[in-house]
Amino acid sequence: MNIADSGYFNPAEDYEIVQQILGGNKDLFEKLERKYKKPLSHLISKMVRNTDDVEDIVQETFIRAYNNLRYYKKEFAFHSWLFKIASNLCIDFLRKRRVQTISIEQPFPRSESENQMDFPALGDEADKMILDEEQRQSLNAALSFLPEKYRIVIELRHFEELEYNEIAERLGIPVGTVKAHLFRARKALLDILRKRRLV
């Protein structure tokens, strides 16, 4: 039985969780992270082969999703919205690397009920929300609260687009430390967004 037919994706349950998060229970987002980390990793690995890059994009997907949660609409399943954000991030990543890739517009087979639904085209909407100036300002505000060692690795990785070994060389630290700092930096970023209600 594949994951889409197993009942793993429960749109009604996800929508209720989203509403509770938007209502103030920010910590519930961790439940969505735990639920979707493995499927997202599987999805992203279809387009991006490097394990470190897959992990980066998984974490970035959750940050983008959390920071844009109020744009989520009940008309389509949360996992479809989340996977579309991941897909767009992959496409952006691969464009920068000038790598040819395959389409993952349908990452998992749909259940019978989903086959009867027509999801709206999300490309333009996803691009709009990711580029939204207000949301960028929220992320920049959250970044300013990070400890310097975390903020620096985020900036080098995502703004200067350096590889792990280049960041390690620039900062004079082991590659493993770079990876650990990035992981903790993104987790801290989500915590800051939740606690300071920057969304």
DSSP one-letter string for the chain: --TTTTT---HHHHHHHHHHHHTT-GGGHHHHHHHHHHHHHHHHHTT---HHHHHHHHHHHHHHHHHTGGG--TTS-HHHHHHHHHHHHHHHHHHHHT------SS-SPPPHHHHT--PPP-HHHHHHHHH-HHHHHHHHHHHHTS-HHHHHHHIIIIIS---HHHHHHHHTS-HHHHHHHHHHHHHHHHHHHHHTT--
Q: State the pLDDT at residue 197.
A: 58
Look at residue 32 and tell me if it is in a domain.
Answer: yes
Both 51 and 63 in a single domain? yes
Look at residue 154 and tell me if it is in a domain.
Answer: yes
The domain that contains 87 carries what CATH number?
Answer: 1.10.1740.10
Both 146 and 67 in a single domain? no
Higher pLDDT, 19 or 135: 19
Tens digits of residue pLDDT in 103-116: 444 454 444 444 33
Both 144 and 160 in a single domain? yes
Both 166 and 147 in a single domain? yes
Both 25 and 83 in a single domain? yes
Q: With a cut of 70, say whether residue 139 has pLDDT above it.
A: yes
> For residue 174, what are the contacts with CB-CB under 8 A and spacing of at least 6?
168
* pLDDT confidence bin for 142, thresholds 50/70/90: confident
Q: With a cut of 90, say whether residue 100 has pLDDT above it.
A: no
Both 121 and 199 in a single domain? no
Tens digits of residue pLDDT in 152-182: 888 888 777 788 899 999 899 999 899 889 8
Long-range contacts of 13-22 (CB under 8 A, 24+ apart): 14/77, 14/78, 14/79, 15/74, 15/78, 18/69, 18/72, 18/78, 21/69, 22/69, 22/70
Look at residue 62 and tell me if it is in a domain.
Answer: yes
Query: Mean pLDDT over all residues of the chain?
Result: 77
Sign (positive or negative) of CA dihedral 52, 90, 103, 74: positive
Q: Domains in the chain: how many in total?
A: 2
Look at residue 107 and tell me if it is in a domain.
Answer: no
CA distance 101 to 94: 8
Q: With a cut of 80, say whether residue 183 has pLDDT above it.
A: yes
Look at residue 75 and tell me if it is in a domain.
Answer: yes
Look at residue 1 and tell me if it is in a domain.
Answer: no
Tens digits of residue pLDDT in 5-59: 444 678 899 999 999 999 989 889 999 999 999 999 999 998 888 888 898 999 9
Both 143 and 188 in a single domain? yes
Both 72 and 161 in a single domain? no
Both 95 and 177 in a single domain? no
Both 17 and 89 in a single domain? yes
List the domain range (segments joined by +) for residue 165. Answer: 132-199
Both 146 and 71 in a single domain? no
Look at residue 121 and tell me if it is in a domain.
Answer: yes
Q: State the pLDDT at residue 135.
A: 64
**Residue carrying the six token digits 């793993």:** 8
Higher pLDDT, 144 or 99: 144
CA distance 39 to 192: 25
Q: State the pLDDT at residue 128.
A: 45
The domain that contains 142 carries what CATH number?
Answer: 1.10.10.10
Q: State the pLDDT at residue 132.
A: 56
Both 64 and 153 in a single domain? no
Q: What is the pTM of this model?
A: 0.63
**Stretch 119-138: mean pLDDT, rounded?**
50
